[in-house]
Amino acid sequence: MVEQFKRDFVKFLLSTQPDPSLRVFDKSSDDRTLKSKRISPWFVNIGDFNDGASLGPLSNHYADALLNSGADFDLVYGIPEKGNLIAPAVVVGLAGKGKNVPVFATRKVPKEHGEASNLSSAERIKAEVVGRVPKSGQRIAQLDDVFTASDAKYEARGKLEEIGKLVGGEFEYPVLAIAVDRMEVAIDSKNAIAEYEQKTGTRVVSIVNALDVIDVLREEKLAPERALERLSNYLRVYGTEAARKGIVERFGKLEQKIINRDRSVIPACDVATIEEFEKLVEATAPVEGIGGYKIGFELGYLGLAKVVETARKHTDKPIIFDHQKAGTDIPDTGRNFARVMKDSGVDAVILFPQAGPETERAWIYHALDAGLKVIVGGRMTHPAYAVSEGGFITDEGALDMYRIAARAGVSNFVVPGNKIEVIKQVRDVVEAEGVIGKYMAPGFITQGGKIEDGARAAGDYCHAIVGRGITQAKDMKAAAIEHCSQL
């Protein structure tokens, strides 16, 4: 149950005019790009509190957060830029609750005129500070609007430490108060707030967090269901461990069963024409053990929507698009990729997110947001891919691709069927994140792997991806039946 003061604050965020300070979007076209460059389906703008009627209540909420933290402090400092607006109002709120403390801010550009123009070097502090100049040893409470990637917080901390040197001492930083904890990991996959607290010794307190916001919006029906679904998927992907756990408790695990069988063969449809593709599907679709069809760039370039339409003449089995390799571009392009895939009618996409963790999270999130099912790979079948094989990609980096996906709730993975030890490593990583993986494995027949060996290593859920062993067979149906029998 959400405490009443948190419930009141969420409603307060929704009450600002002309636009609410809290926005949760049910359409991707309304999404906002954050300072971290993430494209977010929800946004909090404390800058919308810019008149007396709104700053008054806001100041009381912040004051309560500071007082309830139990931290002792002598001054209040607003982190630029939003904190500069909040801090003066908050000290008024604190005074109304019996704690009268001064406030100050720092200049981005030191003042060089007026009272600052003739100062001695020892007094240059006045060119840096607006408001009460802090004294050595004083305890400073910091204020900001939200906490996402923490860059602004570290910059502000550095500025305060510079000022400490100018006054001939050091300050203490017992507490940082924010309005909303977005509960996101930083770009390096770490809990940004926990890492900040560990590095700085400063406790971070918030009036509400992302789960509080979701609870109030759901319980009081203050947002469309689609908006809440989008927000939940965002936190599945970008959230801290606590956020992800909270989403599972509220919405359940991410259920993405792509193949209706525990074990199957998936033809890799690397053929040159749509006509050849149609013959392949027509011949193999009736085979019970065929689970779906993997489409690559050759057919995709001929027109992915046409390919899907052709397949649907003969089967309703899932169409999986393997971009070869999706997830190697910048994070932003994931949204357009997902839109094109959805519009084309494919059921699932394979991502090999070699461009890094932010690209991986973005592409997974945008695929989920578009209603696509997600399959993630990290290791490949050919020689000299991983560093241990003489390649470029570190072994641990490839495992991180699986790890990040599993943390986001993804349960479908591509593993190299001809590298049994790698399959076992991936299973260990995925299961350590509490996910029962479903594995799709290429690398059989012409690349030397044996389907029965790969299936044994993959466990209960294994789908063998077979290309030339079917597409180049004289009798594709007979070849499909033969390969299915090995599962």
- Give the percent of the chain with pLDDT over 90: 77
Average predicted confidence (pLDDT) for the chain: 92
Q: Residue 429 has what pLDDT?
A: 98
User: What is the SS3 assignment for the chain?
Assistant: CCCHHHHHHHHHHHCCCCCCCEEECCCHHHCEECCCCCEECEEECHHHCCCHHHHHHHHHHHHHHHHHCCCCCCEEEECCCHHHHHHHHHHHHHHHCCCCCCEEEECCCCCCCHHHCCCCHHHCHHHHEEECCCCCCCEEEEEEEEECCCHHHHHHHHHHHHHHHHCCCCCEEEEEEEEEECCEECCCCCEHHHHHHHHHCCEEEEEEEHHHHHHHHHHCCCCCHHHHHHHHHHHHHHECHHHHHHHHHHHCCCCCCCCCCCEEEEEECCCCCHHHHHHHHHHHCCCCCECCEEECHHHHHHHHHHHHHHHCCCCCCCEEEEEEEECCCCCCHHHHHHHHHHHHCCCEEEECCCCCHHHHHHHHHHHHHCCCEEEEECCCCCCCCEHHHCCCECHHHHHHHHHHHHHCCCCEEECCCCCHHHHHHHHHHHHHCCCCCEEEECCEHHHCECHHHHHHHHCCCEEEEECHHHHCCCCHHHHHHHHHHCC
Q: Residue 301 has what pLDDT?
A: 92
- The more confident residue out of 222 and 126 is 222
Average pLDDT of span 473-484: 95
Tens of pLDDT, residue by residue over 412-446, are 999 999 999 999 999 999 999 999 999 999 877 56
Comparing 81-90, 301-310, 371-380, 441-450, the range with the smallest average pLDDT is: 441-450
Average pLDDT of span 455-484: 93
Q: Which domains does the chain have, with CATH numbers?
A: 4-251 (3.40.50.2020), 263-485 (3.20.20.70)
Q: Residue 365 has what pLDDT?
A: 98
Q: Residue 445 has what pLDDT?
A: 58
Global pTM value = 0.91
Tens of pLDDT, residue by residue over 284-326, are 999 999 999 999 999 999 999 999 999 999 999 999 999 878 8
